[in-house]
Structure 1
Amino acid sequence: MNLNLRQAILSNVTGHNADQLQATIDDALQQGEEKMLPGLGVFFEKLWQESNEQDRQEILSTLEKSLAE
C-alpha cells in the first residue's frame, strides 16, 4: 500500500476556514499525542512555503525565543 501521509492530511483540511483550522490545531495541541505531529508538520510546511522572507524571519525569531525558555 502506498500511503502519502502529506496528501492525506492536506485532503482532510482543504477548504477549511480559519476557525476550522484553528480548532484542528488547538485539538492537536491539547491532545498532545505524537500521532498529531505529522499533521502539524504539514501545516508548518505550508506556512513556510507561503511566507515571504520577512514572515520567515518572524517565524524563526518566535521559534528561537520559545526554544530558549
Structure 2
Amino acid sequence: MDLNLRHAIMHNVANNTKEQLEDTIVDAIQRGEEKMLPGLGVLFEAIWNNSTEQQKDMMLTTLEQAVKQ
C-alpha cells in the first residue's frame, strides 16, 4: 500500500477556513498526542514553503527563543 501522508493531510484540510485550520492546530497541540505530530509537521512545511525570506527569519527567531525556554 502506497500511502502518501503529506497528500492525505493536505487533502483533509484543503477546504478548511482559517478558523478550522486554527482549531485543528490548537486541538493537536492540546491533545499532545504523538500521532498528531506528523500532521503538524506537514502544515508547518506548507507554511514554510509559502513564506517569504523575511517571514522565515521571523519564524526562526521565534523558534530559537521558544526552544530556549
Match of 1:44 in 2: 44
- RMSD of aligned alpha carbons: 0.4
Listed as ranges, the gaps of 5+ residues in structure 1 are none
Match of 1:31 in 2: 31
Q: Distance in 1 between matches of 2:68 and 2:20?
A: 31
Listed as ranges, the gaps of 5+ residues in structure 2 are none
Q: What one-letter code is carried by the residue in structure 1 that aligns with 2:45?
A: E
Q: Distance in 2 between matches of 1:6 and 1:28?
A: 16
1:11 and 2:2 correspond: no
| Structure 1 position 15, deviation (Å) | 1.2
User: Alignment partner of 2:15: what SS?
Assistant: coil
Paired residues for 1:46-65 under 5 Å = 46-65=46-65
Query: Paired residues, what number?
Result: 69
| Structure 1 position 45, deviation (Å) | 0.2
Where in structure 1 do 4 or more consecutive aligned residues deviate above 2 Å?
A: none
